[in-house]
Structure 1
Amino acid sequence: MTAGALARRGFGDGARAARLMAEAGLDPGDHAQVIAALSAAADPDQALLGLTRLVESDPEPDELRAALDDDPDLRARLIGVLGASTALTDHLVRHPGDWRELRGADAARTPTPEELRAGLLHTVGADPNAAAPIASTPADDADGAEHALRVAYRRRVLRLAGRDLTGAINLETASAELADLAAATLDAALAVARAQSPQDAELCRLAVIGMGKCGGRELNYVSDVDVVFVAEPAEGVEDEQAAIRAATRLASAMMRIPGATDAEGTLWEVDAALRPEGKNGPLVRQLSGHIAYYERWAKTWEFQALLKARPIAGDAALGRAYSEAIAPMVWRAASRPNFVDDVQAMRRRVIAHIPAAESDREIKLGPGGLRDIEFSVQLLQLVHGRTDPALRSGNTLAALDALSAGGYVGREDTAGLADAYRFLRQVEHMLQLHRLRRTHLLPSPDAPDGTEQLRRLGRSLGYAANPVTELTAAWRRVASEVRRLHEKLFYRPLLHAVARLPGTEARLTLSQAGERLEALGFADPEGALRHLEALTAGVSRRAAIQRTLLPVMLGWFADSPAPDAGLLGFRQVSDALGATPWYLRLLRDDVRVAERMAWLLGTSRYVTDLLLRAPEAVAILADDADLARRPTAALTAEAYSALRRHDTAEKAVAAVRALRRRELLRTAAADLLEVSGIDAVGEALTAIATVTIDAALRAAWTKVAADLGEEPCTRLCVVAMGRFGGNELSYASDADVMYVHDPLPGADPSKATRQANLIVHELRRLLEMQSDDPPLVLDADLRPEGKSGPLVRTFDSYAAYYRRWSSTWESQALLRAATIAGDEELGRRFTELIDVIRYPEGGVSDKAVLEIRRLKARMEAERLPRGADPTLHTKLGRGGLSDVEWVAQLIQLRHAHEMPELRTTSTLEALDAAVAHGLLTAEDGATLDVAWRLAARVRGAIMLVRGRGGDSIPTSVRDLAALAGALGYRDDESEEEEGPSSRLLQDYRQATRRARAVMERVFYDEL
């Protein structure tokens, strides 16, 4: 085979490869399969060099060559090792016969932990069945026992690597075997230490507790083995201090053996820095000392480290006693103050200490590395594992599976983290296997041999086409995904909320829930318990997630004005959404949605009703941006799209009303969550009403035209009045409107009027027809002649009426008239018509002013409901909406003809303009503004809380408390005498009393 042909097969130096093959006796014709295997190795040149060295060192090279030809399993394992690990190649060269470790059934089988322990103990001549095995090494040949132990260890790693590199085992199996092999090595090293100091062995019992990856049975090929030592005096030994000193000497001797260096090199370091007080503390403590330390002095990170603690060597009974004593403390740690914050801060400190030049190559500690996954999993375990024993595993992948099964982590997130973890650990394994050195850094392509190292690493991981590019891209992709999931899970607010709960309350137990419900203030604990049972019954994933969420949500429901109603609403919404996958995932992953949902359902019957009509709308609670008012143009475009999609007027308007319902929910939620103010509420409600009427009018027009078989012979315009025209609609407001039509030139006026009436009646029918969505009632009582007048008038009829019969109150009513739908030109003409009426030249006369004042006084006397408290009626009461609006309107009637800024339908804008022109003092304007806003907010909140309209502030204690809560009044511990309800009443009465004083002075005297 030529040098060129070898180069094409993947060898870097074809001529050198040909020479080495000749030296190894590998004729291409006779050993084609071997050469094919070499070319497929992670590093073909390294594999060939290693095989050549092995052939040269083996006293029977012909047997080796024949075995490679005849045994495909041996060939794959041996060449795989030679191409991936120079360290194991060196071992094979030192021990030529060890290539046989990769041959036969034993090489293919994964040994049990007991087999590994027994094998290494036999290596040092110790009895595996003894309570405290002691090596049978001559006193003057301790080095020989240690050397034999290191050689035996390397042979076991060789076997493991052979299976690992050929894909015969997965990452979990390889990591677990490495951990078991490390534990067996420590047991054998302890046996050697006992043989070296038999007098110490007689004084004490010593247990070795594995920590970190060894404790979790997920060890790397080369990693420090973290341990903690616990000791007790041997039976009959009374001198505890002497026993602890003896145990310390044994532990020190044991630690030295794996870390010592000889011809076999160093296995790994044994690190006891995770012990109490770290490196400053004693190496060995009694069990009582460990317990005392963890009960009184341990920091948060120490409990996180103990999560993986597991007895791995030494006295088994003492190790079990240690686990039984310490484990409960680990699972109580999340209840410590600031626990979650401490763990999060520790992760940030780790990242901050990574050298900048290594950050993007650090697969363990860097952003998107293994630590991000491990910290995320461990924090979730510690918080939720207090009450869920299924989560109490020291193994990352097993814990992740348990978190997924319990509903704490979504399936997709679990799969993403698990895949990333396996990828990163496999990269770490292949990095370390090369020289059997501890490293977590990807090779730098800028280093002298960096590209070659990346190529070998990429090929060992299965990237064959373009190993460097594919590996680099995979690392970046995985790191990015890990970082995203880490930030999502590790900084999940639900962790804080669950951690703050007492341990007994962090997992919902129905047997304990009754007492807690009563303590939280639920009026009907038995009814609430039935809701909880329905939500959490069974073993489904949905029930599991609810069992995690509800302990936290119960507290949020209790903070709302009506906890029982909130829990009932939550059950109804959850039942309606059923097994919808995104719903519970949203509540679990974005705790703000769950908290907001609890507050809204426990505060507002109005919101609950809207949400039950379309439960999927709960998704808007995830982001403040989704609660912001949508532009009118966007709503209009969506409504028109609905008209085009449906083939009947009924279906089209039903879609538009569904759009309105969604926007009502958006507005109400933003209002109660204090995302928007009263101005934004009025504008949003007015906008969606306008869009709905406009779209429904188009549908009605099309329907009537189809029924008539011709286009109507008139033009039609809808005029908003009152709060609707003032852009100040509230949740309880009907839409006050007037209808104007204008027959087309040459059309029969009576026919045009009949058609206009058909369209208006169809419009009202469509907006009020039976539906799951709330109706939009159009009230035309403010039209000329009121209920006695025609529903629809022609433009000329309006002009004649206003010219001959218009009264002062109608001029006042027209101040808030605004065209909102229908023919735009007709709307402009109508506006020009009424401007003359509402902004009369020279202003209204003194006689008209007197009439307005008398009308206001009569309205207060006659229209205020019987028995209503005039100080608590938001609309007609003293200092309420009517008082403020009449002041603004009288100013407009008198001065708008000369001051264009007063020509607005908005009450607050009119007040601002009056202040700007000196018609009101700034102080009076501010007083009226505050009172109007507060009365409008209270009136809207009454509708939100009750689900039905009302103008008076309720007097019942329960209703008043709910109203105060909806308005943002909270219990304040500094207020010993006054609760939220009292503060609401005080604020309202104070604001309206001041506004009434301004109104009486300005309206009756100054204007």
Structure 2
Amino acid sequence: MTVPGRRSSTFSRLLRHGFTDPSAAERLLDLEELAALRDDSVLLDALGGTADPDLALRGLVRLVEAQPEAERPALTTTLLSAKPFRDRLLGVLGASEALADHLARHPHDWQALVTYEAADLHPGVADFERGLAEADDPVSLRVAYRRCLLALAARDVCGTTHVAQTAAELADLATATLRAALALAKAAAPEDAAQCRLAVIAMGKCGGHELNYVSDVDVIFVGEPAEGADEGKAVQAATRLASHLMRICSETTVEGTIWPVDANLRPEGRNGPLVRTLSSHLAYYQRWAKTWEFQALLKARAVAGDPELGAAYIDAVSPLVWQAAERENFVPDVQKMRRRVIDNIPAAQVERELKLGPGGLRDVEFAVQLLQLVHGRSDATLHSGTTLDALAALAAGGYVGRADAAQLDDAYRFLRAMEHRIQLYRLRRTHLVPEGEADLRRLGRSLGLRTDPVAELNKEWKRHAAVVRRLHEKLFYRPLLDAVAQLAPGEIRLSPKAAGQRLEALGYADPSAALRHLEALSSGVSRKAAIQRTLLPVLLGWFADSADPDAGLLGFRKVSDALGKTPWYLRLLRDEGAAAENLARVLSAGRLAPDLLLRAPEAVALLGDPEGLKPRGRDHLEQEVLAAVGRADGAEQAVAAARGVRRRELFRTAAADLIRSYGTEDSPREPDPGALVDRVGKAVTDLNAATLAGALRAAVRAEWGDELPTRFAVIGMGRFGGHELGYGSDADVLFVHEPREGVDEQEAARAANRVVTEMRRLLQLPTADPPLLIDADLRPEGKSGPMVRTLKSYEAYYRRWSLVWEAQALLRAEPMAGDAELGARFIELADPLRYPVEGLGEDAVREIRRLKARMETERLPRGADPTLHAKLGRGGLSDVEWTVQLLQMRHGWAEPGLRTTRTREALAAAHAAGLLATEEAQILDEAWVLATRVRNAVMLVRGRAGDTFPSEPRELAAVGRYLGYGPGHVGEMVDDYRRITRRARAVVEERFYGA
């Protein structure tokens, strides 16, 4: 009977303690069997601390009811007086309906939870064997197993053990159970036991000491004849024993089942013999085994049966495990296998799959195992079958970033804890997160989430899964991993003598110097040295795949020295996409990019960002440069800041150019050389325009503050105006100004001239960076004319005095810096001159041809081979550009497509207008692109501008690699250049000279 007045207060207390059905709980508390417990507030508090108070109370009622009446006082007294026991018992009852069922069937087993001593906290195999010792048949073994499991689960749900310890205890309990089952099998067939030696090898989670509550226990059986026994009969006897062991554990009895024993990881799987001899195992692994089988053997551990035979098996297969990464396509095979697992998950379950789905437990395990198998060949500290131990070893050895390892460890523990508690409820093998509200609530509370268990659980689960998914993609698919796997074992850890021989074989010209660099980079026990030892064997191969491996290694040492104390540098190379290979390609391709990088080593970060190699637009660059100039204290500091931006962006452009020209694992070779040329030309042009804008702002601020007395614009000419600058090009410009309203013309002219003088001075200050030289020789009257004119002065000069070559020069005029409106008005002035109505007269055409012929005769450097000079030689840049420009001046007034400053665009427009045949346009375009790439290549390789192929063999080979010619093919490159430009010259002779 309910005591009047007690119902409402108890009801509210039950709600506060987490009961979802307080009415049913009140009825249970009113049962006579709980008379000794119902008024004890300690009990109610303890029930409220469980995962599911309603479930715990129901289980407690069943347990009390199952006790013989004379023995109930012992249970209730212990429950009320011993807090550790109370927490253990109620914790289990609130988390596991299956274990509550066991206690109801075996009411005395609650006594297994009473002991609370230090030795009981973390029992091992021997302790579990004692707990199973009295089992003399499969049924009693199941009872004893559940009794041990009861105590183990109690430690788990009460937090006495953490998730990794719980998994290890479950594996130890499984080991003890396999031993007990084998003992029963042997007792049932002593004649079989006498004929053979049988070893049981645990695989999978049991072998890795990380078992679940309910999981198949994967095993492999190894048999050998006992002394004097026949091998064939011994194997048959061992097979009968192994089969009986499996039945004892797997078959369902009145006490249910323990767990299935799965031997399908054996050679040939379920189609192969259940038991093999050691030699038969080895023969299979050496000849027939697939990659996944070696991955599975990583967790192999002898657990039962003949200990000497088990140890012999492990000793024999271990070397094979750590050689598996040398198999052809090893890394791609493992990656494909992981993808197949995900593809086979039913679509309706993939989002709830805690183990196999994306961001699940298997993602962590596969990433860790792949890293182990690749790097464990040369590092025995990685030889652990336990995921979290192996992850810690990978982090300690520098193979995984410490922050990444910590996040993976945290996520793996959380996901495993979820898996444990899901399985513990009914002791069923499942990895699916439940969908029901009550199940999710119990699961969340079991993990300590009490405010809003369902919402908190979903949030934490998704957060950890996202971390796992991100880091799995990062670690599992990084290019460096496949590159390390492809190294021969001796290439990973080299003795000095072997290293010298390998360096010489790879093509290093000075192996002794290279060895000194290697020693400086990788000696010692620091984490930095450990990561370098992982990187260097692969980098050496990438450096060797270039024309100058020695320069690549030296550059890498310099960059590493410069960034030695920067925490992100080596982590970037190890973890982020293709950063390491990109750096190797850039450092070994010539002098320009490494010199730029050593002046700003933090730019290495660009190589690891997928967006890092994309050029930035002119507006963005100008905004950054002007902001830097605005923060500077003086004009010289302002231009230094602008140069800093230019240095970084030149490196970005050069690195992207080299990587796309060479091609890498992550970035295939650019198939269209013209696209490379266009990208470089636009990027360098935009960058130099932004730098000039910064120099102009610095020069104005130094004397006039925010506003110059005259409006001022910089007009790009030549390749600058054509957006076709190379790495070593000067900036051809014209300067134009216009006095502001109310300003005296002479004052305006003085101001404009001082600005030009200051800009040139600032840009000519000594620097180790590639210079940005201003060339104003295309101005009216050339070197003898004023450096800067008003717009009216330009108009007057061009109207009265301009020559045809000056109109031709204006074909590439385009505003680049300063007053945009003034620049636009200058272009309006230039258009009638460069695109004359009705085209050029014959006199003008003859004059252009005469000037071109004179230039060919007078300006080609003495001694230069006219067939190999990229600018002025036969079929080179000048030939193509003058031919296109003549077409522009003759037909631009009628063909809008020709009104462009860009050579390739004008060439395409001439073809579209029928002014050039398709083949002619293609020939001219191919020659112009090739000549431009030769000039870019010379600058990249030598670090200084040049118009012809280098004579030094290594530099010539490096130019060849940039242009796509492999080792030994530089002669072919030169022959191709001569052939392509010879064809272009034939078109020029016909279309320009009219021959």
Q: What TM-score, normalized to structure 2?
A: 0.93
Within a 5 Å distance, the mapping from 1:230-245 to structure 2 comes to 230-235=222-227, 237-245=228-236
Residue 163 of structure 2 corresponds to: 171
Secondary structure of the residue that 2:867 maps to in structure 1?
Answer: coil
Secondary structure of the residue that 1:60 maps to in structure 2?
Answer: helix
Amino acid at match of 2:454: V
CA contact (8 A) 1:965 1:980 kept: no
Which deviates the most, 665-674 or 241-250?
665-674
Question: Residue 100 and residue 962 in structure 1: after superposition, are their counterparts in 2 closer, same or farther (change >3 A)?
Answer: same
Residue 569 of structure 1 corresponds to: 555
- Alignment of 1:101 with 2:90, yes or no, is no
CA contact (8 A) 1:354 1:366 kept: yes
Amino acid at match of 2:886: L
- Alignment of 1:488 with 2:484, yes or no, is no
Q: Which of 633, 637, 653 is the aligned partner of 1:651?
A: 637
Amino acid at match of 1:516: R
CA contact (8 A) 2:716 2:734 kept: yes
Secondary structure of the residue that 2:51 maps to in structure 1?
Answer: coil
Q: Which of 408, 420, 425 is the aligned partner of 1:429?
A: 420
Question: Residue 326 and residue 29 in structure 1: after superposition, are their counterparts in 2 closer, same or farther (change >3 A)?
Answer: closer
- Alignment of 1:45 with 2:54, yes or no, is yes
Question: Residue 775 and residue 156 in structure 1: after superposition, are their counterparts in 2 closer, same or farther (change >3 A)?
Answer: same
CA contact (8 A) 1:668 1:944 kept: yes
CA contact (8 A) 1:671 1:677 kept: yes
State the Cα deviation string for residues 836-895 of structure 1 (Å, max 9, x = none). 544455555544443433332232222211211110001111111111222223334444
CA contact (8 A) 1:658 1:773 kept: no
Q: Which of 70, 73, 76 is the aligned partner of 2:87?
A: 76
Within a 5 Å distance, the mapping from 1:489-638 to structure 2 comes to 489-507=475-493, 510=496, 512-623=498-609, 625-638=611-624
Residue 137 of structure 1 corresponds to: none
Secondary structure of the residue that 1:595 maps to in structure 2?
Answer: helix
Q: Which of 761, 764, 767 is the aligned partner of 1:768?
A: 764
Which deviates the most, 877-886 or 848-857?
848-857
**Distance (whole Å) between structure 2 residues aligned to residue 889 and residue 249 of structure 1:** 92
Residue 909 of structure 1 corresponds to: 905
Deviation at 1:306, TM superposition (A): 0.7
Residue 223 of structure 1 corresponds to: 215
Residue 727 of structure 1 corresponds to: 723
Deviation at 1:510, TM superposition (A): 4.9
Deviation at 1:263, TM superposition (A): 4.1
**Distance (whole Å) between structure 2 residues aligned to residue 843 and residue 453 of structure 1:** 86
State the Cα deviation string for residues 967-986 of structure 1 (Å, max 9, x = none). 22235xxxxxxx43123212
Residue 64 of structure 2 corresponds to: 55
**Distance (whole Å) between structure 1 residues aligned to residue 91 and residue 852 of structure 2:** 98
Q: Which of 432, 451, 461 is the aligned partner of 1:465?
A: 451
Deviation at 1:749, TM superposition (A): 4.2
**Distance (whole Å) between structure 2 residues aligned to residue 777 and residue 631 of structure 1:** 22
Deviation at 1:327, TM superposition (A): 0.6
- Alignment of 1:372 with 2:363, yes or no, is yes
CA contact (8 A) 1:522 1:564 kept: yes
- Alignment of 1:937 with 2:928, yes or no, is no
**Distance (whole Å) between structure 2 residues aligned to residue 571 and residue 15 of structure 1:** 75
Residue 315 of structure 2 corresponds to: 324
Amino acid at match of 2:293: E
**Distance (whole Å) between structure 2 residues aligned to residue 590 and residue 111 of structure 1:** 40
Secondary structure of the residue that 2:760 maps to in structure 1?
Answer: helix
Question: Residue 761 and residue 71 in structure 1: after superposition, are their counterparts in 2 closer, same or farther (change >3 A)?
Answer: same
Question: Residue 901 and residue 468 in structure 1: after superposition, are their counterparts in 2 closer, same or farther (change >3 A)?
Answer: closer
Residue 24 of structure 2 corresponds to: 16
State the Cα deviation string for residues 181-209 of structure 1 (Å, max 9, x = none). 11112112222222222222222211111
Deviation at 1:546, TM superposition (A): 1.9
Residue 129 of structure 1 corresponds to: none
Question: Residue 822 and residue 341 in structure 1: after superposition, are their counterparts in 2 closer, same or farther (change >3 A)?
Answer: closer
**Distance (whole Å) between structure 2 residues aligned to residue 586 and residue 736 of structure 1:** 40
**Distance (whole Å) between structure 2 residues aligned to residue 423 and residue 864 of structure 1:** 74
Amino acid at match of 1:695: G
Deviation at 1:429, TM superposition (A): 1.5
Secondary structure of the residue that 2:728 maps to in structure 1?
Answer: coil
Residue 391 of structure 1 corresponds to: 382
Within a 5 Å distance, the mapping from 1:959-974 to structure 2 comes to 959-970=955-966
Within a 5 Å distance, the mapping from 1:136-215 to structure 2 comes to 144-215=136-207
Secondary structure of the residue that 2:993 maps to in structure 1?
Answer: helix
Secondary structure of the residue that 1:186 maps to in structure 2?
Answer: helix
**Distance (whole Å) between structure 2 residues aligned to residue 15 and residue 579 of structure 1:** 65
- Alignment of 1:813 with 2:824, yes or no, is no
**Distance (whole Å) between structure 1 residues aligned to residue 456 and residue 375 of structure 2:** 38
Question: Residue 632 and residue 358 in structure 1: after superposition, are their counterparts in 2 closer, same or farther (change >3 A)?
Answer: same
Residue 681 of structure 1 corresponds to: 680
Deviation at 1:897, TM superposition (A): 4.8
What is the alpha-carbon root mean square deviation over aligned residues? 2.5
Deviation at 1:949, TM superposition (A): 0.5
State the Cα deviation string for residues 895-939 of structure 1 (Å, max 9, x = none). 445555444333333333443444433333332222111111111
Within a 5 Å distance, the mapping from 1:410-449 to structure 2 comes to 410-445=401-436
**Structure 1: which 5+ runs fail to align?**
125-143, 446-450, 972-978
- Alignment of 1:123 with 2:112, yes or no, is no
Q: Which of 244, 249, 267 is the aligned partner of 1:253?
A: 244
Residue 693 of structure 1 corresponds to: 692
Amino acid at match of 1:290: H
Secondary structure of the residue that 1:866 maps to in structure 2?
Answer: coil
**Distance (whole Å) between structure 2 residues aligned to residue 51 and residue 745 of structure 1:** 97
Within a 5 Å distance, the mapping from 1:598-997 to structure 2 comes to 598-623=584-609, 625-674=611-660, 676-706=675-705, 712-744=708-740, 747-771=743-767, 773-840=769-836, 843-897=839-893, 899-970=895-966, 979-997=968-986
**Structure 2: which 5+ runs fail to align?**
1-5, 661-669
Deviation at 1:615, TM superposition (A): 1.7
Question: Residue 882 and residue 88 in structure 1: after superposition, are their counterparts in 2 closer, same or farther (change >3 A)?
Answer: same
**Distance (whole Å) between structure 1 residues aligned to residue 712 and residue 21 of structure 2:** 89
Deviation at 1:943, TM superposition (A): 0.6
CA contact (8 A) 2:208 2:387 kept: yes
Secondary structure of the residue that 2:736 maps to in structure 1?
Answer: strand
**Distance (whole Å) between structure 2 residues aligned to residue 796 and residue 997 of structure 1:** 43
Q: What TM-score, normalized to structure 1?
A: 0.92
**Distance (whole Å) between structure 2 residues aligned to residue 169 and residue 921 of structure 1:** 82
CA contact (8 A) 1:672 1:967 kept: no
Question: Residue 792 and residue 230 in structure 1: after superposition, are their counterparts in 2 closer, same or farther (change >3 A)?
Answer: same
Question: Residue 933 and residue 121 in structure 1: after superposition, are their counterparts in 2 closer, same or farther (change >3 A)?
Answer: same
CA contact (8 A) 2:626 2:697 kept: no
Amino acid at match of 1:194: K
Aligned residue pairs, count: 971
**Distance (whole Å) between structure 2 residues aligned to residue 301 and residue 895 of structure 1:** 69
Secondary structure of the residue that 2:378 maps to in structure 1?
Answer: coil
State the Cα deviation string for residues 652-685 of structure 1 (Å, max 9, x = none). 3322222222222222222223354212222221
Secondary structure of the residue that 1:790 maps to in structure 2?
Answer: coil
**Distance (whole Å) between structure 2 residues aligned to residue 186 and residue 1001 of structure 1:** 92
CA contact (8 A) 1:6 1:17 kept: no
State the Cα deviation string for residues 210-259 of structure 1 (Å, max 9, x = none). 11111111111222211111121222x14111221222222222222222
State the Cα deviation string for residues 25-52 of structure 1 (Å, max 9, x = none). 3456752211221232222222222222
Deviation at 1:290, TM superposition (A): 0.7
Secondary structure of the residue that 2:151 maps to in structure 1?
Answer: helix
CA contact (8 A) 1:194 1:200 kept: yes
Q: Which of 379, 387, 396 is the aligned partner of 1:405?
A: 396
State the Cα deviation string for residues 321-379 of structure 1 (Å, max 9, x = none). 10110011011111112222222222222223323332222222223222222112112
**Distance (whole Å) between structure 2 residues aligned to residue 718 and residue 697 of structure 1:** 9
- Percent identical among aligned pairs is 61
**Distance (whole Å) between structure 2 residues aligned to residue 712 and residue 16 of structure 1:** 88
- Alignment of 1:5 with 2:16, yes or no, is no
CA contact (8 A) 1:12 1:45 kept: yes
**Distance (whole Å) between structure 2 residues aligned to residue 150 and residue 828 of structure 1:** 92
**Distance (whole Å) between structure 2 residues aligned to residue 764 and residue 1005 of structure 1:** 42
Question: Residue 171 and residue 778 in structure 1: after superposition, are their counterparts in 2 closer, same or farther (change >3 A)?
Answer: same
